[in-house]
Amino acid sequence: MNEKNNDNNDKDKNLEKKEEKINNIFDKKEKNEKNEKDITNEKKEEDKNENIKLNNNIIPLDEEKEINEEKEKIDSNKKKKNRRVPIKDWACRSLKEYQIINEIGEGAYGIVYKAKYIGEKEYKNLYGIPDVVALKQIKTEKEKEGFPITALREIIILKELEHKNIVKLLEVVISEPKKDKRIEEGKINRDVYLVFEFMKHDLFGIISNNIVYNLSQIKYIFHELVLGLKYLHDNNILHRDLKPSNILLNDKNEIKIGDFGLARIFSKSSNAIKRYTNRVVTTCYRAPELILGETNYTTEVDIWSLGCILLELLTRKNAFYFKDDNEEGEGTFGLICKLCGNPNEENWKGVTQYKNYKFIPKENYQCKINNKTFPNLDEVTLDIIKKMLTLNPKKRITLDEILKHPFLTSHEPKMCKAEDMPKIEESFNSLNHGGCENEKKKEKIEMKIAGNDYLGKKKKK
């Protein structure tokens, strides 16, 4: 009897929920009909057969199920259209809490500054704000629709993360309103800054300044990156922009993954239909499936990028940099084929169906990840590189398998500890790439690492 009563109660609750949803849809209509106090049962029945216009969509109201399905579609469309959050609605502190020391970097996202905390000590102690931080200014002047979705996604993701190998977002601060009369009404008139823990170096700067790591030290860096990336993937997050300039280090030799502007949450369900953009990751670290046009991808794209970084640490060269590549990465794909071999239906079922399969070189390249190409690398090291740079993403090694690979478990020399890493001189700051001249110098160094002669001239758009 109790079970029957419980079933009846559940049914009643479900009916109540459905009725509540229907009532919500009719709320707007009922507000406009306040003067019509006496509505007959006959009128109510007619209303059910009418069409109510919501957001320019005509929704047939013959059945409760159809109402609910259409309402969900409308709500989904609203979310897509209103993806930007007005800054005036944010509960953020003021930029006045920090004193900018100097500029340490600039990119498409904005400018990064080194800053000193000068705010309330009580807040500092309560939330563990360090004396020196990094301020990442978000460019908003060209945003017609409000705050950039990439920056908003970065904030949402980083607020939920807490790991020793992930850069820590401390808070978000906002500048005072600008008094510029030229700012159009409705546009953002404040600057937004993400406050991060300060990391003095990045891996790109260290490599380009001829700081050499031995194999045991490279294993330490690689192991820390694997742990950080595994944490992200375990929490359903794709980074989608792993490269040396986004790998940060400090004087304690802590390794942290930074820059989550292209990161996003993904579904692990095999039945879920995923449609992500494939224009992610810098081309020379971009997985072949992305270059070919794949939009239903998952964690394998990050593993490919990590394999590129490991190979770069070992050889001090960017294996897949193509000087005048297009946005789709056609030139990069040619270099991938030269080293990893041409993809075909035998090693990658379905590869010929990709829209960019036309990028496949005419030459029949075979995999050259071997002692002949890399005479200074032994078999165990070559094996992990080969497995990370496997063309077919379904056959690519996983992070769990990497952690169990002999390269990290039994291969000599063993991985060193943080205290055994080389000390970087106090005067050296690998992040200090600000200004046009330094940007050209940085780009010239990047070409040199790739093994190309380059005069620092940027490609015309």
**Alpha-carbon torsion 151, 154, 159, 162, what sign?**
negative
Q: Which has more confidence, 403 or 208?
A: 403
Burial of 275: CB neighbours in 10 Å, binned 0-12, 13-18, 19+: exposed
Segment 173-201 shows an average pLDDT of 77
Which pLDDT does position 24 carry in this prediction? 56
Radius of gyration of the chain from Cα atoms? 27
Q: Closest by alpha carbon to 318, among 395, 245, 390, 370?
A: 245
Residue 83 has which token pair? Answer: 């993806």
Question: Could you give the CA distance from residue 450 to residue 458 in angstroms, rounded to a whole number?
Answer: 16
Average pLDDT of the chain to the nearest whole number: 78
On whether the CB atoms of residues 75 and 24 are closer than 8 A, the answer is no
Residue entry with tokens 């050209």: 440
Segment 247-261 shows an average pLDDT of 93
Q: What is the DSSP letter of 377?
A: S
Segment 270-278 shows an average pLDDT of 77
The answer to which of 99-108, 115-124, 161-170 has the lowest mean pLDDT is 99-108
Which pLDDT does position 211 carry in this prediction? 84
The answer to which of 136-145, 252-261, 329-338 has the lowest mean pLDDT is 136-145
Residue 288: asked if its preceding bond is cis (omega within 30°), the reply is no
Provide DSSP, 379-408.
HHHHHHHHHHT-SSGGGSPPHHHHHHSHHH
Which pLDDT does position 218 carry in this prediction? 97
End-to-end, the C-alpha distance of the chain in Å comes to 76
Q: Closest by alpha carbon to 117, among 95, 139, 91, 99?
A: 99
The answer to which of 38-42, 173-177, 225-229 has the lowest mean pLDDT is 38-42
Question: Could you give the CA distance from residue 88 to residue 188 in angstroms, rounded to a whole number?
Answer: 9
Which pLDDT does position 209 carry in this prediction? 84
Question: Could you give the CA distance from residue 9 to residue 193 in angstroms, rounded to a whole number?
Answer: 51
Taking every pair of Cα atoms in the chain, the longest distance, rounded to a whole number of angstroms, is: 90
Which pLDDT does position 139 carry in this prediction? 75
Q: Residue 148's pLDDT band (boundaries 50, 70, 90)? A: confident
Which pLDDT does position 390 carry in this prediction? 98
Q: Residue 454's pLDDT band (boundaries 50, 70, 90)? A: very low
Percent of the chain with pLDDT over 90: 52
Which active-site residues does the annotation give? 241
Distances (CA, A) of 312 to 62, 213, 449, 450: 63, 11, 9, 9
Q: Which has more confidence, 52 or 170?
A: 170
> How confident is the model over 82-117, as pLDDT tens digits?
444 444 445 689 999 999 999 988 876 778 999 999
Sequence-separated (6 or more) residues with CB below 8 Å from residue 221? 203, 213, 247, 255, 313
On whether the CB atoms of residues 369 and 340 are closer than 8 A, the answer is yes
Q: Which has more confidence, 273 or 163?
A: 163
3-state secondary structure of 34: coil
The answer to which of 186-195, 233-242, 382-391, 436-445 has the lowest mean pLDDT is 436-445
Q: Residue 369's pLDDT band (boundaries 50, 70, 90)? A: very high
Full set of structural domains in the chain with CATH: 87-198 (3.30.200.20), 202-442 (1.10.510.10)
Segment 166-178 shows an average pLDDT of 90
Question: Could you give the CA distance from residue 72 to residue 67 in angstroms, rounded to a whole number?
Answer: 9
Q: Residue 456's pLDDT band (boundaries 50, 70, 90)? A: very low
Which pLDDT does position 329 carry in this prediction? 81
On whether the CB atoms of residues 281 and 241 are closer than 8 A, the answer is yes
**Listed ranges 76-80, 232-236, 248-252; the one with the highest mean pLDDT:** 232-236
Question: Could you give the CA distance from residue 242 to residue 284 in angstroms, rounded to a whole number?
Answer: 11
**Listed ranges 29-43, 44-58, 97-111, 351-365; the one with the highest mean pLDDT:** 351-365
Residues in the chain: 461
